[in-house]
Amino acid sequence: MDNEYKETYAKLYKIYKKYQKKYKHNPDSHQMCCMWSTVNPPDTIEDTKPMYEIEKTFEINFDEDEALVLYDMDLDEAAQRIIEIKRGKC
């Protein structure tokens, strides 16, 4: 693993833990969706605090489609996707 991936994953994990712990019913499964309520999920993902924090931290922007793609990923996949977005490969 390279440093860019490790740094991206570490930052993303910190955000994940901040929001995941708010939902006691969500397991610590490292699934991005666990940053939101899985009992009563939001209607849109794009305009939520976790997504805003991810955008701000990594200096990227998501539309609703990309936000939903990330929502369905685990942290490893999401970290790789964020790197691709930052590199302009998406």
pLDDT in tens, 37-67: 888 889 999 999 999 999 999 999 989 999 9
Give the range with max mean pLDDT: 9-13, 34-38, 44-48. Answer: 9-13
For residue 36, pLDDT beyond 70: yes
CA 50 to chain centre: 7
Structure letter (DSSP) for residue 24: T
* Residue 89: predicted pLDDT: 64
For residue 27, pLDDT beyond 80: no
Contact between 27 and 47 under an 8 Å Cβ cutoff? The reply is: no
pLDDT band at 90; cut points 50, 70, 90:
low
Q: Where are the domains of the chain?
A: 3-86
* Residue 1: predicted pLDDT: 60
